[in-house]
Amino acid sequence: MTSHEPDSRPLLLGGPALGLRLILLALASAGLMVADHRQHALATVRNWMSAVVYPFQWAVQAPVQAWDSLVESFATRSRIEADNVKLASDNLVLRLRLMRFESLEQENQRLRAARESTARVVERTLIAEIVRVDLDPFRQRVLVNKGTRDGVFRGQAALDANGIFGQVTRAGPVSAEIILITDPEHAIPVQVNRTGARTIALGTGRSGLLTLPYLPQNSDVVAGDLLVSSGLGGVYPPGYPVGRVTNVARDPAQPLLAVEAEPLAALDRDPEVLLAWFDSTVVEPQPGAEPDAPAPAMPVGR
């Protein structure tokens, strides 16, 4: 405790100088926060900072990742064999489904051509690994190891093998931050696959829970219904699975239903995600595009 720093600065700090510095720095912080909150003002600074910070973020999770891969490499032979059998049978089923899919896709394209509407399907994907750092336990966000150098852009949709994962909120040169569909600040336009009813699914901050608060009492939705992205807003490609309805609470006193759903993507278990490029007719992928909470303002043409 009794250190002897040879320094000529006065030991008794304080007085007006300290207060003044506090006020100046507080004003600087407030200025930064305001500039940052209006998104575009500090975009380049933030991207640059994310590039500086990324090596550290990567380094801190590297031992954890190395341990996981070590455990993986010592996985027992029987487990690998069982996995292999399962994958082979899965592959067979998927290939059978794909055979039908190709003819359906052609038919779909013909029908769409007849209606003069463009199909928006995912054209290209990029696998991005999730960097395992804890950004904030109360926000559903992850960091991935691909950035603008790989063509990642703000507002890009991210998927996994089971469904929609989230979208890119910040794209740095070598890393990007993805907001999950379960983040409380996230909303995704969805469609009940069985009936075609359109609504919005909001995140709750808990992984494994989405809410659909805007469905009227008389809407036809039951537990088990599949929710797919509707494609409104142009951030997500339409027709991809988002979640499955788990609970419908009908309270006649309320004007709207309280519907809960669970996301299909393995949000907290995925080691990697797919970043998707698709032909968007609503919003062109550009850094200035505002991806948050797209409003379904389009008329429903059926």
Partner 1 sequence: MARTRSGLGFGRILVVTLAALLASVLPLPGWLELLRPDFVALTVLWFTLLSPRLTGLFYAWGAGLALDAFKGVLLGQHALALIVITYVASKLRLQVRAFPPLQQTAVILALLWLNEFIVFWIDGVAGHPVTDWRRWLSVPVGAACWPLLTGLFARVAARR
Stretch that binds partner 1, among 9-17, 98-106, 108-116, 226-234 (CB under 8 A): 9-17
Which C-beta is closer to partner 1: that of 166 or that of 234? 166
Which C-beta is closer to partner 1: that of 17 or that of 104? 17
For residue 289, the minimal CB distance to partner 1 (Å) is 19
Which C-beta is closer to partner 1: that of 6 or that of 299? 6
Nearest Cα to Cα of residue 159 among 211, 124, 200: 124
> What residues from 13 to 52 belong to the interface with partner 1 (CB under 8 A)?
13-14, 18-19, 21-22, 25-26, 28-33, 35-37, 42, 45-46, 49-50, 52
Scanning 194-260, the segments in alpha helix (DSSP H) are none
Q: Is 72 in the site for partner 1 (CB under 8 A)?
A: no
Which C-beta is closer to partner 1: that of 182 or that of 191? 182
215: amino acid identity, one letter: L
10, two tokens:
């006065």
For residue 143, the minimal CB distance to partner 1 (Å) is 7
**Long-range CB contacts (< 8 A, 24+ apart) of 70-76?**
none
- 177: part of which helix (H) or strand (E)? strand 176-180
Residue 298 phi/psi, 5-degree rounding, is: -80, 145
Cα distance between residue 184 and residue 7, in whole Å:
50
Which C-beta is closer to partner 1: that of 21 or that of 40? 21
Q: Is 299 in the site for partner 1 (CB under 8 A)?
A: no
Cα distance between residue 176 and residue 62, in whole Å:
18
> Using CB under 8 A as the criterion, what x/- string covers residues 162-181 for binding partner 1?
--------x------x----
Helices first, then strands: H and E counts in the chain = 3, 12
Nearest Cα to Cα of residue 143 among 151, 134, 152: 134
Which C-beta is closer to partner 1: that of 139 or that of 244? 139
# residues contacting partner 1 (CB under 8 A): 54
DSSP 186: -
Among 129, 150, 185, 262, binds partner 1 (CB under 8 A): 185
* 142: β partners: 178
> Using CB under 8 A as the criterion, what x/- string covers residues 105-144 for binding partner 1?
---------------------------xxxxxxxx-x-x-
> Using CB under 8 A as the criterion, what x/- string covers residues 191-230 for binding partner 1?
--------------x-------------------------
Q: Are 211 and 189 in contact (CB under 8 A)?
A: no
For residue 164, the minimal CB distance to partner 1 (Å) is 21
Cα distance between residue 300 and residue 254, in whole Å:
26
Which C-beta is closer to partner 1: that of 113 or that of 135? 135
Q: What does the DSSP assignment read for 57-122?
A: HHHHHHHHHHHHHHHHHT--HHHHHHHHHHHHHHHHHHHHHHHHHHHHHHHHHHHHHHHT-----E
Which C-beta is closer to partner 1: that of 133 or that of 274? 133
Four-residue CA torsion sign, 187, 300, 282, 106:
positive
Instruction: List residues binding partner 1 (CB under 8 A).
Output: 1, 3, 5-9, 11-14, 18-19, 21-22, 25-26, 28-33, 35-37, 42, 45-46, 49-50, 52-53, 56-57, 59-61, 64, 132-139, 141, 143, 170, 177, 184-185, 205
